[in-house]
Amino acid sequence: MGGLLGIVIVVLFLSSWPCSSTSRVLLQQEDNRRSLLSNGLALTPPMGWNTWNHFGCNIDEGVIRETADALVTTGLANLGYNYVNIDDCWAEIQRDSEGNLVAKRSTFPSGMNALADYMHDKGLKLGIYSDAGSQTCSQTMPGSLGHEEQDAKTFASWGVDYLKYDNCNNPGTSPQERYETMSKALQNSGRNIFFSLCEWGQNDPAKWAANVGNSWRTTGDIEDNWDSMTSRADENDQWASYAGPGGWNDPDMLEVGNGGMTTEEYRSHFSIWALAKAPLLIGCDVRSLSSETLEILSNSEVIAVNQDGLGVQGRKVKSNDGLEVWAGALSGGRVAVVLWNRSSSKASITAQWSDVGIQSSQAEVRDLWEHSTSEAEGKITATIDSHSCKMYVLTPK
């Protein structure tokens, strides 16, 4: 978090934040994260792509390679989308004679070593999936329960950089214990591997996962519709004080570009995920992006909010009949603000400086979607269409 100065900035900001949680949480979490921070992973939220939201089990190595190519040619890789993550259904249903996981021969005939090499040659990283139970959620491949050390070493030998670890078909034992077992196995594997806990927020992982993994799901699976997206945002918001460099709250992957929401709804989705320091994992087919989808996903100013080094998760600070203000501290004394109209009609939304933690009377206002700059005194107000938002960075003067 940039040392003692970063911690002090966060604590001072939160102590002045209306209705905020105590800053003691962040200081306690800071100690817990040190072992995971030492590997240099997750200093900012991860960015990349995952197969599940668009492809489900219909995956093969061709799709993975073509997606990697598309991340590079669209410029998304240069913006930070570096993880290419394979979700469920990549393995044979049976382990080999030595108990090792085996890539499915019909869909990944070249094997995972070759796929990892392909990613690394392009400056990308390979992610893979397993489960803290006997089988994965699709029930088409084995889980890692009881095989944690063996599987972690297998992933490391393949050159894997990221593990998403699900929670299906478990024996009902403590998820914390099962996830800690894999965490230790990964740390003993000889390779730095980002550890993404996917136990759906059922056992409040924000309270214990900061010294276990690099991100943790705070919600159930997202669906490609407005109600699902907004509910995930709200569920994730309650855990804002637990996130920070080394470990991030995860309200699930992005649905932007999958077709179930409007362009304005997707823009709101992306804005709130960025402000909330959520992992930005693209969930659509990158090989066939529309211009509108590419414009949303490649907004470097919005991405910069997500990747800000201070690592403070923005939160909902004001709400009135679906008219909401979300805000969070950024490095350099700046503040990111989203004015979000969740109502069914156009409306005016105002954020007072006192709402968002600004002490001075004047601020420079940078509109991150219009890419324009202005100045304001005491507040910002905008008229916003239904299900749309405005996103700003405020720099106090």
> What residues act catalytically?
166, 221
**210 alpha-carbon distance from chain centroid:** 15
CA–CA dist 274, 237 (Å, integer): 13
Which letter, b or e, does each residue of 348-383 get, where b requires 16 or more Cβ atoms within 10 Å of its Cβ?
A: ebebebebbbbeeeebebbbbbeeeeeebeeebebe
Asked if residues 249 and 214 have their Cβ atoms less than 8 Å apart, the reply is: no
Amino acid making up residue 55 = F
Report the SS3 class of residue 317: strand
CA–CA dist 166, 311 (Å, integer): 25
Q: What are phi and psi of 282, to 5 degrees?
A: -60, 140
Asked if residues 341 and 79 have their Cβ atoms less than 8 Å apart, the reply is: no
Report the SS3 class of residue 229: helix
Nearest to 80 by CA among 124, 114, 136: 124
Distances (CA, A) of 351 to 19, 301, 339: 16, 20, 8
CA–CA dist 118, 102 (Å, integer): 19
Taking the CA of residue 146 as centre, how many other CA atoms within 13 Å lie in the half-sphere pointing to its CB?
11
Q: What are phi and psi of 119, to 5 degrees?
A: -65, -50
CA–CA dist 308, 332 (Å, integer): 10
Report the SS3 class of residue 15: helix
> Six-digit token pair at 313?
């998760």
Asked if residues 18 and 317 have their Cβ atoms less than 8 Å apart, the reply is: yes
